[in-house]
Amino acid sequence: MFKFFVIPGHDRRLIPEGRLSGPMPWVIAIMIFLTVLTAAAGLAMTRAMSDVSDELSSRATVQIIEANPQVRNRQADMVAARLRTLPLVEEVRVLPPEEIDALIEPWLGTQDLADDIPLPALIDVKLARVATDAEYQSLRSMLQSIAPGARVEPSSGYIAPVISLVRSFQWIAFGLVGLLALATGAAVILSARSALNTHTETIAVVHLLGGTDQQISRLFQRRIALDALLGGLIGLAGGAVIIWLISGQLSAIGSGLVQSVGLDWWSWLIIAVIPILGMFLAMVTAKLTVTGALKKIL
C-alpha cells in the first residue's frame, strides 16, 4: 500500500518535492481544517443526543392538577407513595414549591403566583427501565384513580422537538463532510493536472528512457500524497485548537444539554484519522487522474 513511498532518490529528483512551496498543501490544510470542525460538530451532536435520550427515556413527570392546595398536596403524597411500590419505578421525588417557582420564574416573573394561579404539583419519577406506551397508559389509569387530575408524561416528550432539530444539524454536518471530501478530490485533480503540464518534457524523456506509466504515476502519487498528509496535519492541528477553545467555553455554560455536547475518546480517534483518510483520497484521486492523462498523452 505504501510501496510508492519507497522510491530511489534519483527517481524522486525527477519531480521536485518542495514542502509547503506550492498551494496544494495549504488548500488541503484548509479543507482538513473545515472537515475536522464539521466532523467534530456532528460527532458532538451525536453524543449529546445519545446522552440526553438515555437520560430522559427512563424518566417521567407526574402532574397533579387540582385547584385546592390542601387536596393537591394530599393527592401528591398519595400518588408518590403508590409509585414507590411499583417495580417499574426506581426513584420518586416530589418537587418542593420553591423549586416549581424557580422553574416558572423565567416566564412569569418572581412574584408569588400561588394565590393567583393554581400551580400543579410535580413529581419527578426515575424508572428502572424504559417504559412502553402501554405501561404509561396503565400508569395513568392507576394514578387517576387516586388523583383524577393526574397526568403522566415521559420526560423525553418535552425535549423531542430539540432532539429533532439537533438531528437535522447532525445530518447537515455529515453532509458537509462529504462535500468537503469532494472539494478536496477536485483540488487534487487540479493539482495533478497542473503538475503534469509542468513536467511534460520530463515525462517525455522518461518515456524515451523506457519508463512506464506506472513508474511516472507513482512519482506524482507520492508527491501529492505527501503534500496532502502535511497539509492534513496542519489542518488537524488548527482544528484541534479551535475545538479545545470551544469546549472550554461550553463547559462554562450551566445548561445540561449544552454540557452534554462534547467528544469522547472514539470521537477524537475518528478526528485524528481524518488527515490519513485525506491522504488516501489524494492518493486514489491522483492515481486515477495521472493514469488517465498519461494514456491520452501516448
User: What are the boundaries of each domain within the chain?
Assistant: 3-53+160-294, 59-129
Q: What pLDDT is stored for residue 19 in this prediction?
A: 54
Check whether 1 has a pLDDT greater than 60.
no
**Across residues 220-234, what is the average pLDDT?**
86
**Residue 259's pLDDT is what?**
52
CA distance readout (Å), 253 to 42, 70, 105, 110: 20, 38, 19, 23
Whole-number pLDDT of residue 109: 59
pLDDT of residue 253: 61
Q: What's the mean pLDDT in 88-104?
A: 80
Q: Which is more confidently placed, 84 or 97?
A: 84
Give the per-residue SS3 of 166-208.
HHHHHHHHHHHHHHHHHHHHHHHHHHHHHHHHHCHHHHHHHHH
At residue 215, the pLDDT reads 72
Q: What is the pLDDT of residue 10?
A: 46
> What is the arithmetic mean of pLDDT over 166-187?
89
The model's pLDDT over 116-141, given as tens digits with 9 standing for 90+, comes to: 667 788 888 888 887 778 888 888 88
- Can you tell me the mean pLDDT for 170-193? 89
Looking at residue 207, what is its pLDDT?
66
Query: What is residue 162's predicted lDDT score, i.e. its pLDDT?
Result: 74
Q: Is 240 helix (H, G, I), strand (E, B) or coil?
A: helix
Determine the Cα–Cα distance for residues 134 and 112; give it in Å rounded to an integer: 38
- Provide the mean pLDDT of the chain: 78
Query: How confident is the model at residue 106, as a pLDDT?
Result: 62
| 269 or 56, which is more confident | 269
Which stretches does DSSP call E strand in 57-161? 59-64, 89-94, 121-127, 150-154
Would the pTM count as exceeding 0.75?
A: no
| Tens digits of residue pLDDT in 234-282 | 999 999 999 888 877 766 665 555 555 567 788 889 999 999 999 899 8
